[in-house]
Amino acid sequence: LPGLHVLAIAFALEVSVGKTNTVTALNNSNVLLPCTFTTCIGFQDLVFKWYFNTTELIYHGKIKTKTTEPTLIWHNPRVEFVGSTTKKENNISIVLNSVEFSDAGKYTCHVKNPKERNAQHNATIFLTVVHKMVETDNTVTLIIVGVVGGLIGLLILFMLIKRVVLFIIKKTQDRKKECLVSSSGNDNTENGLAGSKAEQKAPPKA
């Protein structure tokens, strides 16, 4: 079906900024803004752009084929291209130099592939600029996780002990019942035999 074929092609191009879409950078430092793309049928004359806060263009590049590296069309002087497309991964990452507090915001990596009927896709990363990096103290979290894990372990151990105790009690009760049934059967048999012998005796003669 033509419609399904077009839909499949449209979803062949994918753009990603990695596992997390947030980056934190120190004021006046250089920060990497990662971006990679994948395509099922390859690419030709592929165009990629980076935008700041949706509308401000900060980098514009073009890639002829898989065997050629990207060529620069335009870029902000503070933006440096650090990717490569001739290697295994189609990397179109950039570095923003001398980060300022005003650079905090949304950065969008946009890709257009004419070979896929001009299919387009983009991914967004959010940059936070801070005066000082704060180390996260995970001590409290680790304590909570340890306590919860210990309680769960104790609960499981209690359930296992309970099952074993109940199993032993049940086995003991079953054995007692078997003993009682066996004893009762033996007594009745002995009484019956004695009664039969008494009945077989002839009455005394007068």
* Domain contains 194: no
* Phi, psi angle pair for 201, to nearest 5°: -65, 135
Does 86 map to a domain? yes
- Is the same domain home to 148 and 97? no
Residues 44 and 116 in one domain: yes
Strand pairing report for 22-26 and 119-130: parallel
CATH of residue 43? 2.60.40.10
Total domains, the chain: 2
Q: 2 lies in a domain?
A: no
Gap between the Cα atoms of 113 and 116, Å rounded: 6
Lowest mean pLDDT among 3-12, 43-52, 103-112: 3-12
Note whether residue 152 is domain-resident.
Answer: yes
Share of the chain above pLDDT 90, in %: 53
The amino acid that residue 87 corresponds to is K
108 assigned to some structural domain? yes
Give the pLDDT confidence of 151-169 residue by residue, as tens digits: 888 889 888 898 888 888 8
Looking at the structure, tell me whether residues 144 and 126 fall in a common domain: no
Q: Measured between alpha carbons, how far is residue 113 from residues 7, 36, 75, 118, 197 in Å?
A: 15, 14, 20, 5, 110
For residue range 44-87, list pLDDT tens digits in order.
999 999 999 999 999 999 999 989 999 999 999 999 999 999 88
Contacts (Cβ under 8 Å, ≥6 apart) of 46:
62, 63, 111, 112, 113, 114, 115
pLDDT at 198: 46
Do 106 and 148 have their domain in common?
Answer: no
User: Do 18 and 110 fall into the same domain?
Assistant: yes
pLDDT at 188 over 60: no
Q: Rounded mean pLDDT of the chain?
A: 83
Write down the pLDDT at residue 201: 54
Looking at the structure, tell me whether residues 18 and 92 fall in a common domain: yes
Examine the domain organization and report whether 64 and 155 are in the same domain. no
Specify whether the CB–CB gap between 83 and 70 falls below 8 A: yes
191 domain-assigned: no
Six-digit token pair at 189? 């048999």
Q: Residues 82, 108: one domain? A: yes
Does 47 lie in the same domain as 21? yes
pLDDT at 72: 95
Q: pLDDT for 167-187, tens place per residue?
A: 888 888 877 776 666 666 555
CB 35 within 8 A of CB 127: no
Q: Where are the alpha helices (DSSP H) in the chain?
A: 2-10, 139-200
The arithmetic mean of pLDDT across residues 2-30, rounded, is 78
- Are 28 and 92 part of one and the same domain? yes
pLDDT of residue 204: 60
Look at residue 4 and tell me whether its pLDDT is greater than 50.
no
pLDDT of 129 reads 96
**Residues 20, 101: one domain?**
yes
Domain identity same for 58 and 143: no
Q: Which of 68, 102, 130 is the C-terminal boundary of a domain?
A: 130
Residue 201 lies in a domain: no
Q: What domain range is 154 assigned to?
A: 135-169
In a domain, 187, yes or no: no
